Amino acid sequence: MKRKNQSELDNGLKVGARVRLIAEGLAWKAEMTLQGQIGEVIERRDDGRLTIRYDNGRLLMGQEPESFERVPDMGLKAKGK
């Protein structure tokens, strides 16, 4: 049986990544007000758990990375330069 490395386990989520809860996961079901909302990873613990901050000020602390999916960065580009 192949052992998964850390990057496979955490979906590549790092501090600063924009994420949203994966639909129908345990955290998604428990956090009705955050369904569909985009948050930012603000902490990554040594054990791989994450702290996510949402625009409304809500924090989800000690969450499993498998509960989240990365949101593509919309990236602002300088205009006219």
pLDDT in tens, the chain (81 residues): 434 444 444 467 999 999 999 988 878 888 888 888 999 999 999 999 999 999 989 999 999 999 999 998 766 554 544
Instruction: Using the structure block, give the residue that is written with the tokens 């569909």.
Output: 36
Contact by Cβ (8 Å): 20, 69: yes
Q: What is the pTM of this model?
A: 0.74
- How far is the C-alpha of 74 from the C-alpha of 48, rounded, in Å? 26
Residues 6+ apart with CB under 8 A from 52: 19, 39, 40, 41, 42, 59, 60, 63, 68
